[in-house]
Chains A and B, each alone.
Chain A
């Protein structure tokens, strides 16, 4: 059975989720990436969107002017790890509940998700047209002075996903678990190849 999260997301909705689960999102998803995070956390600028109970997407979309508004052309996740140094404080200050991006995040985000009941999930990277077709409307845009990729695009989405939970509210981090496995496998493989490439003799 596929689970759907609907904004505003409540703590109870997230508490039963585990790293590795797949969910879909209905409701509000706001793009917010490098400079959006920097402006709030480092520069102390107030975010022009109230994110309490909502979801953010680490993404810089391609949008097209459409009459008075905008049409979503392509929108996919960007590398979440770039936001790692800001995310714990970002979760605390905004009350955001779902952070969607690509690849894993680190221990600070894990701590933030645990303390304030939030989750990080990945949307498959590079699948930007699939995602765009799940955006019902762009309701508004803020901080457009940052340019198309960095602006905050306020999107209403329907069955947005698949979203794979990578950090849950209990401190589990799917990518850190995977990286531990990759690193454990690496040593013997590198030693084996190294024996066969001793070309400097």
Chain B
């Protein structure tokens, strides 16, 4: 395969994968939603869960985006330093977005800042958003595709606390966001919390926390315990599906951390809605691929 063919091949793969993610939830999210549905007894909560599952079935059957808000497309890449098409990745992904916008079809969601015009093809200034992490001595590329609607992007916020506020301040912040903005963001939510020494570090980590598989824990035992306590506590609030009250509020709580400055403790929160449209794909140097988030998926 020459370079041009390789570029074409990866563009087709990423267009189809982006299209696919708008229509199918990842395996771990589906499994958790089934568990949460089982636990509900309240009539309104049951009506909402029934609608959710009927909708997912119809989205698959009719091959349509399960939620109309297919987000501003974002790609979070763990890029092998030896991947052959690193220079081409940005244009490949931009082209993939334009194609998926037509085929899925995705909603037109890229509004240019200042011109305030919708570009109509989901590309725009710095969009699709691409986040890079370089992995040394790796020939492949692992890409997280994320389609987050505006509703679950609205709660996103952060604050830099003084150390006196401590981890207690982190907990208070997360709970305050969840009982205000979280209610309207299509719960049960996946909650990503980032802690670090400055605000952009915390914000970035809070987002990346949303790509961890459900059921995984932070490697530090204290952090894992804090995740568990916050998950249990948030569920005890009983937001229920759509904030209409119920047994659970969250799909999970994922915390990511970076060492902080002695004088600061920054916290940020990002949430994913129940329709957490995340997909993980591994692209090999010969352009073959493996889908890690959706077992048995074919593009």
Which residue of chain B is the closest to A81 with respect to CB atoms?
B184
Complex CA–CA separation, A103 to B226 (angstroms): 29
Among A59, A78, A132, A190, which residue has its beta carbon within 8 angstroms of that of B64? A132
Task: Mark contacts of A1-28 with chain B using CB atoms, 8 A cut-off: 1 yes-contact digit, 0 otherwise.
Answer: 0000000000000000000101000000
Point out the residues of chain A lying under 8 angstroms from B237, CB to CB: 182, 185-186, 189
The verdict on A22 contacting B47 (CB below 8 Å), with A185-B238, A193-B171, A198-B167 known, is yes
Which residue of chain B is the closest to A197 with respect to CB atoms?
B167
| B288 close to A (CB within 8 Å) | no
| A178 close to B (CB within 8 Å) | yes
Is the beta-carbon distance between B222 and A124 smaller than 8 angstroms? Answer: no
Q: Chain A interface: which size bin?
A: 35 or more
Complex CA–CA separation, A192 to B75 (angstroms): 38
Among B65, B229, B241, which residue has its beta carbon within 8 angstroms of that of A193? B229
Complex CA–CA separation, A164 to B62 (angstroms): 26
The verdict on A78 contacting B179 (CB below 8 Å), with A73-B65, A128-B55, A129-B58 known, is no
Question: Interface stretch among A47-55, A60-68, A91-99, A110-118?
Answer: A60-68
Among A60, A127, A182, A185, which residue has its beta carbon within 8 angstroms of that of B51? A127
Point out the residues of chain A lying under 8 angstroms from B180, CB to CB: 179
Is the beta-carbon distance between A73 and B172 smaller than 8 angstroms? Answer: no
Point out the residues of chain B lying under 8 angstroms from A194, CB to CB: 167-168, 171-172
B-contacting residues, A61-115, CB 8 Å = 61-62, 64, 73-76, 78-81, 102-104
Is the beta-carbon distance between B168 and A62 smaller than 8 angstroms? Answer: no
Is the beta-carbon distance between B233 and A192 smaller than 8 angstroms? Answer: yes
Is the beta-carbon distance between B151 and A127 smaller than 8 angstroms? Answer: no
The verdict on A79 contacting B233 (CB below 8 Å), with A74-B64, A181-B245 known, is no
Q: Chain B interface: which size bin?
A: 35 or more
Is the beta-carbon distance between B68 and A190 smaller than 8 angstroms? Answer: no
Point out the residues of chain B lying under 8 angstroms from A133, CB to CB: 58, 62
Point out the residues of chain B lying under 8 angstroms from A104, CB to CB: 183-184, 243
Complex CA–CA separation, A198 to B69 (angstroms): 40
| B244 close to A (CB within 8 Å) | yes
Complex CA–CA separation, A149 to B65 (angstroms): 15
Point out the residues of chain B lying under 8 angstroms from A190, CB to CB: 171-172, 175, 233
Complex CA–CA separation, A12 to B240 (angstroms): 32
| A36 close to B (CB within 8 Å) | no
Among A76, A148, A179, A192, which residue has its beta carbon within 8 angstroms of that of B67? A76
Is the beta-carbon distance between B222 and A103 smaller than 8 angstroms? Answer: no
Is the beta-carbon distance between B166 and A126 smaller than 8 angstroms? Answer: no
Point out the residues of chain A lying under 8 angstroms from B149, CB to CB: 126
Point out the residues of chain A lying under 8 angstroms from B69, CB to CB: 60, 76, 78, 128
A-contacting residues, B133-191, CB 8 Å = 149-151, 154, 163, 166-168, 170-172, 175-176, 179-180, 183-186
Point out the residues of chain B lying under 8 angstroms from A46, CB to CB: none
Is the beta-carbon distance between B68 and A199 smaller than 8 angstroms? Answer: no
Among A125, A149, A182, which residue has its beta carbon within 8 angstroms of that of B118? A149
Is the beta-carbon distance between B243 and A197 smaller than 8 angstroms? Answer: no
Point out the residues of chain A lying under 8 angstroms from B117, CB to CB: 147
The verdict on A183 contacting B179 (CB below 8 Å), with A76-B67, A125-B273 known, is yes
| A141 close to B (CB within 8 Å) | no
**What is the distance, in angstroms, from A64's C-beta to the closest C-beta of chain B?**
6
Among A125, A149, A200, which residue has its beta carbon within 8 angstroms of that of B186? A125
Among A62, A127, A147, A164, which residue has its beta carbon within 8 angstroms of that of B44? A164
Which residue of chain A is the closest to B154 with respect to CB atoms?
A79
| Interface pairs (19), CB distance under 8 Å | A59-B68, A61-B68, A62-B105, A64-B105, A79-B185, A103-B183, A103-B242, A104-B184, A124-B48, A127-B52, A127-B67, A149-B109, A162-B51, A174-B244, A178-B244, A181-B238, A185-B236, A193-B230, A200-B167
**Chain A interface (Cβ within 8 Å of chain B)?**
20, 22, 59-62, 64, 73-76, 78-81, 102-104, 122, 124-130, 132-133, 146-150, 162, 164, 174-175, 178-179, 181-183, 185-186, 189-190, 192-194, 196-200
List the 10 closest A-B pairs by CB distance, nearest first. Answer: A103-B184, A147-B118, A194-B168, A127-B55, A74-B68, A128-B68, A126-B275, A197-B167, A130-B55, A125-B186
